[in-house]
Amino acid sequence: MALGEFELIERFFKRPARPAASGVALGVGDDCALLQPAPGTQVAISCDMLVEGRHFFPDVDPVSLGHKALAVNLSDLAACGTKPLAFTLALALPEANEAWLDGFSRGLFALADAHRCELIGGDTTQGPRNICITVFGEVPVLEGRSLALLRSGAEAGDDIYVSGTVGDARLALDALNGRLDVPAAVLAQARLRLELPAPRVALGLALRGVASAAIDVSDGLLGDLGHVLKASNCGATIDTSIAIELLAACHPSGNAHAADRLQLSHAQRLGYVLAGGDDYELLFTAPSTLRAAVQAAAQTSGTPVTRIGRIEAEPGLRLVDAHGKPVSGRFASFDHFA
C-alpha cells in the first residue's frame, strides 16, 4: 500500500487532541507552529541529525531508534539545564513502511510523553533514511541573568563530575561491528546504552545554580571536556583511577561470570571511558564549596554522579593515576568528518 505524505503524518504523527502543552500555542498542521514562552524565560534550541549507516544500523529496532532520535536532543537540553517543551521532526525515508513508522513513532512518543515534550511540526520526504529533530526548552531568566548551564562557566578550582556510567555505548558498537568479543550478557546491557540512552533532564534541572558549566557526553568524555576547557579558557586534570571504574560492562550486575569473561586491557578499558562517545551522560563542573549541593542534585534527580577531576588555570588536559602521576595515552574523540 502506497502511503501519501499527508496520510503518513495523519496516521503516525498526528495525535489525539490533549490538554494544550504548557508553552505550545499552536502545534502540527499550519505553515508554522507557535510557542508562547512563559514571561521571564528564554527558549533553548538544539538540533541533531541522525543518518542511517552513520548513527544507526539499517536494521535497528525502529522503537529504539524513535527513542534515541529524541533522546540525543533532550540530552542537549539537559546539558543546558532547560525544561523540554516541544520538538519538530524532519524525516527522510526511502519508502513509507508502515511497520517501521509504527515502531518509530511509538518509541518517539513514549519518550516525548515521559518528558511532556510536544511534537509541533516537521517535514517528511522520500530519501535516504535521515532523522532531524530540533528541540525546544524553557529556562528562566532571573534578574537579567539566564539560568542556562553553559560550557563557558568553569573556573580554576572547580570539581569535574560525570553522571552515570560511560563507555558502554561504544563498547556495544565495537561488539556489533565485530571489532570486539563481548560476552552476550554483557553486550545485552551495553547495547541498551547504545540504543536506549536516557537523557539526564532531571539532573540538568537540579544542577541549575549549582553547576558552573555543563555539556553532554556525545563525542567522548575527553573531547567534550575539551569543549568546556576551550569555552572556559582553562585546563583540567582527570584522575584515571576513578574514571576507569565508569565502564559499566566491567561491573557485573547479576552476572559476574559474564563480566569476568570480558577481556579488556587497562588501556582499552580507559579508552572506552575517555573516548567512547554516544553516552549522553552529563559532564559538569561545580565549585568545590558546592559538593553537598551537587550530591543533593544527584539524589533529587535519582542520578549517580562521580567526581573525576579538577579544573585548573593551566591550559591543557592532564591525566593522572591514583598517586597523581601523569598517565600517557591518546584518546581521540569522534569527529564526523575525520
21 binds its own copies (CB under 8 A): no
Site string for its own copies, 190-229 (x = CB under 8 A): ------------------------xxx-------------
CA nearest neighbour of 279 among 214, 196, 193: 193
Contact flag: residue 178 with its own copies (CB under 8 A): no
Establish if 139 lies at the interface with its own copies (CB under 8 A): yes
Distance CA 208, CA 192 (A): 28
Phi-psi sector, 9: left (phi>0), alpha (psi -120 to 50), beta: alpha
- The neighbouring-strand residues paired with 72 are none
Using CB under 8 A, which of the segments 40-48, 270-278, 296-304, 310-318 binds its own copies?
40-48
Q: Read off the amino acid at residue 316.
A: G
Q: Does residue number 332 form part of the binding site for its own copies (CB under 8 A)?
A: no
CB 272 within 8 A of CB 247: yes
Q: How far apart are CA 226 and CA 277, in angstroms?
A: 13
Least distance in angstroms from the C-beta of 235 to its own copies: 19
33 binds its own copies (CB under 8 A): yes
Of the pair 17, 32, the CB lying nearest its own copies is at: 32
Give the one residue of 13, 21, 46, 105 binding its own copies; rule: CB under 8 A: 46
Contacts (CB under 8 A) with its own copies, residues 75-94: 76-77, 79-80, 82, 88-92
For every residue of 235-266, DSSP letters joined together read EEEEEHHHHGGG-GGGS-SS-HHHHHT----H
**Subset of residues 103 to 132 that bind its own copies, contact rule: CB under 8 A:** 120-128, 130, 132
| Residue (120 or 262) nearer to its own copies, CB | 120
Take residue 154 and report the three cell numbers written for it: 568553569
By CB under 8 A, which span of 58-66, 137-145, 155-163, 195-203 interacts with its own copies?
137-145
The answer to the question of residue 335 lying near its own copies (CB under 8 A) is: yes
Give the dihedral of Cα atoms 266, 269, 274, 276; nearest 10 deg.
150
Total residue length of the chain: 338
Q: Judged by CB under 8 A, how many residues of this single chain contact its own copies?
A: 72
Q: Which of 151, 170, 208, 310 binds its own copies (CB under 8 A)?
A: 151
> Please, what is the angle between helix 168-176 and helix 184-195, to 10°?
110
